[in-house]
Amino acid sequence: MTNILVVADIKQGVLKGSTAELLSKARALGASTATVAVGSNIAGLASQLAAAGSDTQYIVDDPSLEIFSAKPFAEAVVKAAREFNADMVWFGFSESGKAAAPRVAVQLEAACANEITDAAIDGDTVHIVRPAIANKVLQKVKINAPKLVAVVRAGAFEADPEIAGKENVVTLDPPEKDMKAVVRELISDASGEIDLADADIVVSVGRGAKDKAGVDLVKGLAEDLAAGFGSSRAMVDAGFMAHNKQVGQTGKIVAPSLYIAVGISGAIQHLAGMNGSKVILAVNKDPEAPIFNVADFGIVGDLFDVIPLLKEEIKKIRA
């Protein structure tokens, strides 16, 4: 029997959907499952973690864990992995997961894989699939080590609503603080906005919007659709959009049912973050823009004409 430990993805005290997705996949593989939740004031999440599909919940709850710090976070996960005798440790797609996974892998002497999109157990051997080379190819990887630590790519697995685990809470001692890399401050992202990773529709703005007025115009469309509002790197570099709004290889990976790219050329690093979307609509004045090669629907035109019209049409159908 394979033991899979899923690291709970918690953001601002809220359990993200990816945790249930990973647990559903683990159960579908026939594994026994546990979760580890690391943070401050999170003990209350245990029943949600059980409902999400775990049969044991390791809780590492301490005020010192309020702000993310990679070393103690990884140590807490290692502790839970040892307690559970985990064969695999899975992180949801997150910066904390990407920072912790290689540390956990070294400590457990495990193989390490980033952005896996599939996992299969074949007798004693685990095989995974993951993208590489800027998401241009997929790799099939055979795991030789007895253990695997992996970060699962956003949107790779689906949650099965039928699945539920049972509550069995194990409290673990908090790890020590990292005195050599002390997080002195967290400059929080604006709260209250729709998380790109959760949004069913994402509207993203690119350099074509030019300036603040253009960004506000596109943001208006996102608001009308109750969509997440994302960005290409160009608009982040220009200071119009926050870092956490960047979609792409160095930003968020999104797979909404509808992705609307406005004034975005479609560089490979941008495509790597959104080409898993179900339907893509692109608005661009250049008929040759590479974004049209991946868009299901394309409007060739000036966004300053098209976006107001799009807003009007949407108002009509929503009325």
Partner 1 sequence: MKILTTVKKVVDVELNIHVENGAIVEKGLQYVINAWDENAVEAAVQINESHKAETTLVTLGSGDHTDIIRKCYAMGIDNGIHIDDPALEKADSATFAKVIQKIYEAGDYSLVITGKQAQDTDAGQAGIMLGEFLEIPCVSNVIEIKVIDDTHIQVSRLGDAGTEIVDVTLPAVVTVSDSINEPRLPAMRGIMMAKKKKITVMDLAGLGTSFEEVGGTALKSEVTAFMAQEKRKGGQKFEGDPAEVTAKVVQLLVNEAKVL
For residue 164, give the nearest of 37, 246, 47, 68 by alpha carbon.
47
Our CB check for partner 1 shows the closer of 56 and 277 to be 277
Applying CB under 6 A, which part among 35-43, 71-79, 115-123, 301-309 lies near ligand FAD?
301-309
The answer to whether 245 contacts partner 1 (rule: CB under 8 A) is no
Buried (b) or exposed (e) across 258-276, using 16+ Cβ within 10 A? bbbbbbbbbbebbbbbbeb
Among residues 211 and 312, whose Cβ is nearest to ligand FAD? 211
Q: Considering beta carbons, is residue 106 or 168 the nearer one to partner 1?
A: 106
One residue of 58, 90, 157, 292 binding partner 1 per CB under 8 A? 292
Alpha-carbon span 218 to 303, nearest angstrom: 9
Q: Does 258 bind partner 1 (CB under 8 A)?
A: yes
Residue 179 or 213 having the CB closest to partner 1 = 179
Binding mask 178-217 for ligand FAD (x = CB under 6 A): ----------------------------xxx---------
Residue 184 binds which entry of ligand FAD, partner 1, none, with Cβ cut-offs from 5 to 8 Å by kind? partner 1
Which residues within the stretch 266-295 sit at the binding site for ligand FAD (CB under 6 A)? 267, 269-270, 273, 283-286, 289
Burial pattern 209-244, b for ≥16 Cβ within 10 A else e, equals bbeeebbebbbebbeebebbbbbbbbbbebebbeeb
What string of DSSP letters covers 148-160?
EEEEEPTTSS---
Q: Helices marked H in 225-302 — which ranges? A: 233-237, 268-271
- Per CB under 8 A, 143 contacts partner 1: yes
Q: How is residue 280 written in tokens?
A: 């893509």
Beta-strand relationship, 118-122 and 111-116: unpaired
CB of 166 to partner 1, least distance (A): 29
Contact partner at residue 153 from partner 1, ligand FAD, none, CB < 5 to 8 Å by partner kind? none
Q: Which of 143, 264, 280, 282 binds ligand FAD (CB under 6 A)?
A: 264
Least Å distance between CB 187 and ligand FAD? 20
Residue pair 9/19 in contact (Cβ under 8 Å)? The answer is yes
